[in-house]
């Protein structure tokens, strides 16, 4: 696959916690306008791998963004390279409202140097109008929102700041069918805008439907990366369960 | 089994309940249109009840200008610290060291102005109170920052670090002067503790009140215009009108009460002599707003702005609500912890100025049990120990409720042990009510 420079390359990533190799020599890459699925059982290391990209964990290995080597030591560094993450836990402060969460860490300020809550709410209304037109609870703390509404706040936060690289950690795990469909449509739309997406999931069918390629992990190691059009559900399942690529599966 | 409706008293009873529920709903929507939260109403209600009950028991001696003036001065020190404790508790920490720290700072600064500074500048030099006050605040900020560093960067729980501080500062306080009481303090410094001299006086109090009232009205109108400019829903005009008149009215009413408390004859003679004024028969001077209360109100306004209008405040509440999310949003939560405890320390420094100036002396007992009063004030004021929730005004009202209870019981003649028992029970009861309230409103 040498069409152009990859948006992201992670090479020989390693991290261990208390002697356990959570991620062991894993390399993955992502191109503009592409969705790469990360598959594996719970504990296979997919979330851990991706947290090294979003700055939540520091491991070893080389990360390249647009072909340039970068150092990502914390979430602020990741944001600097337009890497945005939608965490499985959503990472929302439940006691704050949607606007405060959307702009957390990147608040809009008045010329006097104070928080411009009104401007932040106005911007939040705009983007939510696009993502989830039914959303109305702008002054309630996000703890008062439904699962889908909370999800849309988390998505809005990632999309609002011109993400180039988007990491979605099981984005549909807590959603109903209708909202899942909305997320699928959003992914298509973001793809069309040239954004690269890492989609972490353990639902093989979702990956088959949404992704262009899939990297499968097992016990912290990379089993292999395949083009989705070349494989079947069963091939992917075989990789996840047996840890074998389709070629070597007998 | 449902009972059939009966033509006798039960039906009337049902109707009465229905009416009551309707009335409650109506009043709820009335207050929700006003935009005052029910928690604030509850606290003010509790305060009013406490005041009225004591006023009735004492036969009208509680709600007098004299008692309210004393109450305002007695509340100031604990309330100043309680505003800082809100931030500490909102981020799921605790600070048990503030009482001892207040004592340590008070003793050090007292020794500074009694023993050191007069040697350097001469007794009563104009700069002594400035150096003393600045030292108190700086010392508090440094001690607090050090504790915050241990909590944030070395990951020792705040409970343990400040429990250590509680013991260390109380001991260190003794070492400063080998247990000797320091007195008298610098005369200008003493003004920050209130008393007959330590007030704004009548004219200045009125100016202060009018400026504050105008500022409140202007700010409320500006906020309304800004919201309307963005096309957000604003309160109905009548609701805004009521709120604005309430705010301005309360401020002016407070000043009026403080301006109705005459200064005692002895103090008048003292002041007249020091200022070279001839006292004539029938001359009456009034106290006005006490300086420690002006300090408290300033701290309250500044801390409210910090809580609601600055990044620092926003990060405090975000970290309290979900520390992991705050970290993932790029907030440096460790440094935040250092800043919060440094601020708590600085406020403890201010409180120690007020407390030592009020007593005009510092002995080794200064600040004893204050940490518990401060925590109780913050918690009664609606700060949740589970983190994420708490308001500055709530903590100040909490401190006022606690002080009202204690002063009230003292004036009724309840002895000290029973006072402790009552305050302890009230604390637990208030927190239980708060928990039930949160569960009902789903916060």
Q: Does B311 touch chain A (CB under 8 A)?
A: yes
According to the model, what pLDDT value does residue B8 have?
A: 46
> Does a structural domain hold residue B13?
no
SS3 label, residue B194? coil
Q: How many CB atoms lie within 10 A of CB A186?
A: 20
For B338-370, the pLDDT digits (tens) are 999 999 999 999 999 999 999 999 999 999 999
pLDDT at site B17: 56
**Dist. CA B11–CA B13, nearest whole Å:** 5
Q: According to the model, what pLDDT value does residue B3 have?
A: 45
Q: What is the dihedral sign for C-alpha A49, A55, A57, A63? A: positive
* Contact predicate B217/B248, CB 8 Å: yes
Is the pLDDT confidence value at A44 over 60? Answer: yes
Token pair 């006798």 is found at: B8
Look at residue B123 in the predicted model and tell me its pLDDT: 86
Interchain contact, A105 vs B330, CB within 8 Å: yes
Minimum mean pLDDT range among B120-134, B231-245, B269-283 = B269-283
- What's the pLDDT tens digit per position in B46-102? 999 999 999 999 999 999 999 999 999 999 999 999 999 999 999 999 999 999 999
* Rounded (5°) CA angle A86-B338-B89: 75
Q: Is the domain of A167 the same as that of A248?
A: yes
Strand partners, A226: A214
Q: Residue B29 has what pLDDT? A: 64
Residues B246, B323 within the same domain: no
Residues A78 and A59: their CA atoms lie apart, in Å, by 14
Q: What is the pLDDT of residue A147?
A: 83
pLDDT digits (tens, 9 = 90+) for B260-273: 999 988 888 888 88
The pLDDT tens digits for A149-185 are: 888 899 899 889 888 999 998 887 777 788 788 888 8
Note whether A155 and A176 are same-domain residues.
Answer: no
Least confident range from B67-71, B163-167, B431-435: namely: B431-435
B329 touches chain A (CB under 8 A): yes
- The residue from A161, A193, A211 where one domain ends is A161
d(CA B409, CA A222): 72
The pLDDT of residue B261 is 93
Structure tokens at B81: 């610290």
Are residues A183 and A74 both part of a single domain? yes
Q: Which pLDDT value is given to residue B24?
A: 56
Residues of chain B in contact with residue A94, where contact means CB-CB under 8 angstroms, are 321-322, 388
A167 in the same domain as A78: yes
Task: Say how far apart CA A200 and CA A46 lie, in whole Å.
Answer: 7
> Is a pLDDT exceeding 70 seen at residue B292?
yes
A43's tokens: 């504990």
Kindly tell me the burial class for residue B278, based on how many C-beta atoms sit within 10 Å of its own C-beta (0-12, 13-18, 19 or more): exposed
Q: Which domain holds residue A61?
A: 1-82+162-250
Task: Please name the residue of chain A whose CA is at the shortest distance from the CA of residue B313.
Answer: A115
**Each residue's pLDDT tens digit, B114-135:** 999 999 988 888 999 999 999 9
Do residues A36 and A211 touch, judged by C-beta distance below 8 A? yes
Average model confidence (pLDDT) across chain B: 90
Which residue spans within B135-264 are E strands per DSSP?
none
Domain boundary among A161, A180, A212: A161
Long-range residue pairs from B329-337, CB within 8 A, at least 24 positions apart, any chain: B329/A75, B329/A91, B329/A104, B329/A105, B330/A74, B330/A75, B330/A76, B330/A79, B330/A105, B330/A106, B331/A104, B331/A105, B333/B152, B334/B152, B334/B153, B335/B152, B336/B91, B336/B152, B336/B312, B337/B91, B337/B93, B337/B148, B337/B151, B337/B152
Shortest Cα distance, chain B CAs vs residue A38, angstroms: 21
User: Do residues A167 and A78 both lie within one domain?
Assistant: yes
| Residue A96 to residue B318, Cβ atoms within 8 A | yes
pLDDT grade for B167, boundaries at 50, 70 and 90: very high
Interface test with A, best of B91, B329, B331 (most A CBs within 10 A): B329
Whether B388 and chain A come into contact, CB under 8 Å, resolves to: yes
Helix (H) or strand (E) holding B161: helix B158-177
The count of structural domains within chain A is 2
State both tokens at A198.
């890492």
What Å distances lie between residue B21 and B15, B26, B35, B438, CA to CA?
10, 9, 21, 20
Task: At B205, list the tokens.
Answer: 């109090």
pLDDT of residue B10: 47
> Are B190 and B230 within one domain?
no
Query: Which chain B residue has its CA at the smallest distance from A120's CA?
Result: B230
A28 touches chain B (CB under 8 A): no
Residue B227 with chain A: CB contacts under 8 Å: 118
If asked whether residues B226 and B344 sit together in one domain, one would say no
Predicted confidence at residue A248, as pLDDT, reads 57
- Partners of A74 on chain B (C-beta within 8 Å) are 330
Q: Do B93 and B120 have their domain in common?
A: yes
A105, A109, A115 ranked by CB distance to B329: nearest:
A105
Tokens at residue B199, please? 């007030």
* Residue B440 in contact with partner chain A when CB distance is under 8 A: no
Beta bridge partners of A168: A86, A199
Interface test with A, best of B325, B331, B439 (most A CBs within 10 A): B325
Alpha helices in B4-127 (DSSP H): 9-34, 38-57, 65-90, 98-111, 117-121
Cα–Cα distance for residue pair A219/A26, rounded to 1 Å: 11
The secondary structure of residue B112, as a DSSP letter, is I
**A205: which 2 tokens?**
């069918």
> Which stretch of DSSP H or E encloses residue A26?
strand A20-30
A161, A176, A209: which is the final residue of a domain? A161
Per the prediction, chain A carries an average pLDDT of 88
Looking at CA atoms only, how far is residue A183 from chain B in angstroms?
22
Q: Is residue B321 part of a domain?
A: yes
User: B317 to each of A175, B13, B150, B395, how far by Cα in Å?
Assistant: 28, 46, 21, 16
**Would residue B226 be called left, alpha or beta, if left means φ above 0 and alpha means ψ between -120 and 50 degrees?**
alpha
**Do B167 and B220 fall within a single domain?**
no
Q: Determine, for residues A93 and B318 on separate chains, whether the beta-carbon distance falls below 8 Å.
A: yes
Rounded (5°) CA angle A93-A98-A103:
80
ipTM of the complex: 0.88
Question: B399 and B82 in contact (C-beta within 8 Å)?
Answer: yes
How many domains is chain B partitioned into structurally?
2
- Which residue reads 């990209």 in tokens? A53
> Which residues of chain B neighbour A87 with C-beta distances below 8 Å?
328
Q: What is the pLDDT of residue B9?
A: 44
Torsion from C-alpha of B322, B324, B328, B332, nearest 10 degrees? 90
Confirm whether A223 is domain-assigned.
Answer: yes
Q: What is the mean pLDDT of residues B420-424?
A: 89
Say whether A74 and B330 touch across the interface (CB within 8 A).
Answer: yes
Chain A residue with minimum CA distance to B333: A105
Terminal-to-terminal C-alpha distance of chain B? 35
For residue A132, give the nearest of A163, A178, A169 by alpha carbon.
Answer: A178
B249 and B165 part of one domain: no
Confidence of residue B21 (pLDDT cuts 50, 70, 90): low
A-interface mutation test, from B308, B312, B314, most A Cβ less than 10 A away = B314
Contact criterion met (CB < 8 Å) for B317 and A93: yes
Same domain, A154 and A169: no
Structure tokens at B160: 């343990």
Over residues A8-19, the mean pLDDT reads 91
| Residue A92 belongs to a domain | no
Q: Which residue has the tokens 């699928």?
A: A184
Of the pLDDT bands very low, low, confident and very high (cuts 50, 70, 90), residue B111 is: very high
User: Mind listing the pLDDT tens digit for each residue in B368-420?
Assistant: 999 999 999 999 998 988 889 999 999 999 999 999 999 999 988 899 899 88
Q: Domain range holding B271?
A: 196-289
Supply the pLDDT for residue B13: 55
Does A74 share its domain with A151? no
The SS3 call for residue A115 is strand
By C-alpha distance, the chain A residue nearest B223 is: A118
Annotate B364-391 with b (16+ C-beta within 10 A) or e (fewer).
Answer: bebbeebbebbbbbbbbbbbbeebbbbb
Beta carbons of A104 and B309 less than 8 Å apart: no
By the CB < 8 Å criterion, does A123 face chain B?
no
Same domain? For A136 and A71 the reply is: no
Structure confidence by residue, pLDDT tens digits, A185-243: 888 888 998 899 999 987 888 888 889 999 999 988 999 899 999 988 888 888 888 88
Residue A183, domain CATH: 3.40.50.300
**What is the rounded distance in angstroms from the CA atom of residue B256 to the CA atom of residue B129?**
30
B311:A143 CB<8 A: no
The answer, for B393 touching chain A at a CB cutoff of 8 Å, is no
Question: In CATH, what number is assigned to the domain containing residue B88?
Answer: 1.10.3470
Is residue B11 pLDDT above 80, yes or no? no
Supply the pLDDT for residue B4: 45
* A96 in B contact zone (CB under 8 Å): yes
**Cα distance from A198 to chain B (closest Cα, Å)?**
18
Same domain, A199 and A77: yes
Q: Using the beta-carbon criterion (under 8 Å), do A93 and B326 form an inter-chain contact?
A: yes
Whether A143 contacts chain B with CB within 8 A: yes
Supply B421's token pair. Answer: 């028992």
Is the pLDDT reported for residue B7 higher than 60?
no
Going by C-alpha positions, the residue among B386, B327, B306 that lies closest to residue A143 is B386
Contact between B113 and B321 under an 8 Å Cβ cutoff? The reply is no
d(CA B334, CA B287): 46
- Cα distance between residue B142 and residue B342, in whole Å: 6
Q: Is the pLDDT of residue A250 over 60?
A: no
Q: What is the pLDDT of residue B20?
A: 55
Whether B314 and chain A come into contact, CB under 8 Å, resolves to yes
Answer positive or negative: Cα dihedral of B181, B182, B187, B190. negative
> Is residue B325 in a domain?
yes
Domain match, B158 and B174 both: yes
Tell me the per-residue pLDDT of A67-120, one tens digit each, with 9 for 90 and over: 999 999 989 899 999 999 998 888 999 999 999 999 999 999 999 999 999 999
The DSSP secondary structure of B295-341, one letter per residue, reads HHHHHHHHHHHHHHHSHHHHHHHHHHH-HHHHHHTT--HHHHHHHHH
A113 shares a domain with A48:
no
Distance CA B98, CA B219 (A): 34
Q: Name every residue whose Cβ is closer than 8 Å to that of residue B302 and which is 6 or more positions away in sequence.
A: none
The candidate with the shortest Cα–Cα distance to A63, out of A217, A161, A167, is A167
**Residue B1 falls within a domain, yes or no?**
no
Contacts across the A-B interface (CB distance below 8 Å): 83
pLDDT of residue B32: 67
Chain A contact present for B225, CB below 8 A: no
Are B333 and B387 in a shared domain?
yes
Nearest CB among B309, B313, B322 relative to A94 is that of B322
DSSP string, A119-142: HHHHHHHHHHHHH-TT---SSSBG
A6, pLDDT greater than 80: yes
| Half-sphere CA count of A146, side-chain side, radius 13 A | 9
Q: Could B328 and A56 be called an inter-chain contact, meaning their C-beta atoms sit closer than 8 Å? A: yes
Assign B75 to helix, strand or coil: helix
Q: Which candidate from B231, B313, B328 shows the least CB-CB separation from A91?
A: B328
């Amino acid at each position: 696959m040498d069409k152009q420079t990859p948006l992201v390359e992670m090479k020989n990533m390693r991290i261990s916690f208390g002697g356990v190799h959570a991620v062991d020599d894993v390399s993955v890459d992502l191109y503009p306008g592409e969705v790469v699925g990360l598959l594996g059982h719970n504990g296979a290391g997919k979330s851990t791998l991706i947290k090294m990209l979003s700055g939540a964990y520091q491991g070893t290995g080389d990360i390249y963004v647009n072909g340039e080597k970068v150092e990502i030591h914390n979430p602020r560094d990741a944001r600097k390279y337009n890497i945005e993450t939608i965490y499985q836990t959503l990472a929302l402060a439940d006691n704050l409202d949607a606007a405060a969460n959307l702009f957390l860490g990147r608040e809009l300020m008045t010329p006097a140097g104070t928080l411009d809550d009104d401007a932040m709410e106005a911007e939040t209304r705009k983007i939510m109008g696009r993502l989830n037109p039914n959303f109305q609870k702008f002054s309630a703390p996000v703890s008062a929102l439904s699962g889908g509404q909370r999800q849309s706040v988390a998505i809005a936060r990632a999309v609002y700041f011109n993400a180039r690289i988007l990491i979605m950690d099981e984005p549909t795990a807590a959603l109903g069918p209708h909202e899942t469909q909305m997320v699928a449509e959003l992914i298509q739309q973001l793809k069309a805008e040239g954004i690269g997406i890492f989609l972490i999931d353990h639902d093989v069918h979702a990956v088959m439907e949404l992704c262009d390629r899939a990297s499968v992990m097992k016990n912290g190691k990379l089993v292999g990366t395949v083009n989705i059009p070349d494989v079947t559900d069963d091939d992917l399942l075989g990789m996840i369960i047996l840890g074998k690529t389709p070629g070597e599966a007998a | 089994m449902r009972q059939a409706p009966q033509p006798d008293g039960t039906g009337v009873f049902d109707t009465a309940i229905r009416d009551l529920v309707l009335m409650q709903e109506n009043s709820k929507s009335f207050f929700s249109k006003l935009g005052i939260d029910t928690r604030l109403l509850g606290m003010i209600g509790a305060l009013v009840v406490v005041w009225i009950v004591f006023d009735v028991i004492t036969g009208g001696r509680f709600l007098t200008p004299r008692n309210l003036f004393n109450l305002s001065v007695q509340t100031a020190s604990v309330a100043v610290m309680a505003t800082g404790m809100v931030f500490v508790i909102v981020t799921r920490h605790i600070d048990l060291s503030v009482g001892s720290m207040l004592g340590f700072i008070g003793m050090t600064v007292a020794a500074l102005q009694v023993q050191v500074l007069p040697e350097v500048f001469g007794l009563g030099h104009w700069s002594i109170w400035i150096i003393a006050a600045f030292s108190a605040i700086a010392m508090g900020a440094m001690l607090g920052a050090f504790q915050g560093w241990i909590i944030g960067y070395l990951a020792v729980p705040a409970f343990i670090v400040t429990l250590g501080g509680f013991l260390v500062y109380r001991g260190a306080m003794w070492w400063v002067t080998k247990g000797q009481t320091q007195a008298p303090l610098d005369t200008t410094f003493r003004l920050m503790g209130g008393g007959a001299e330590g007030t704004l006086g009548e004219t200045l109090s009125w100016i202060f009140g009018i400026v504050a009232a105008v500022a409140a009205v202007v700010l409320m109108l500006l906020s309304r215009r800004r919201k309307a400019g963005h096309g957000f829903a604003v309160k109905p005009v009548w609701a805004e009108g009521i709120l604005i008149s309430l705010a301005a009215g309360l401020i002016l009413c407070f000043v009026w009460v403080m301006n109705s408390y005459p200064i005692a004859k002895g103090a008048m003679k003292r002041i007249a002599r020091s200022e070279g004024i001839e006292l004539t028969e029938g001359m009456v001077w009034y106290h006005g707003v006490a300086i420690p209360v002006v300090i408290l109100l300033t701290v309250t306004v500044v801390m409210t702005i910090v809580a609601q209008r600055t990044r620092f405040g926003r990060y405090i509440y975000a970290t309290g609500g979900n520390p992991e999310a705050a970290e993932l949003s790029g907030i440096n939560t460790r440094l935040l912890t250092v800043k919060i405890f440094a601020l708590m320390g600085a406020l403890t420094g201010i409180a120690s100025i007020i407390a030592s100036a009020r007593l005009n002396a510092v002995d080794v007992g200064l600040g004893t049990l204050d940490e518990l009063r401060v925590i109780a004030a913050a918690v009664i004021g609606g700060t949740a120990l589970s983190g994420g929730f708490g308001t500055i005004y709530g903590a100040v009202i909490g401190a006022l409720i606690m002080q009202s209870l204690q002063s009230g019981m003292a004036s009724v003649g309840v002895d000290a042990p029973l006072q402790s028992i009552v305050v302890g029970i009230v604390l637990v009861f208030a927190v239980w009510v708060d928990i039930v309230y949160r569960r009902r409103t789903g916060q």
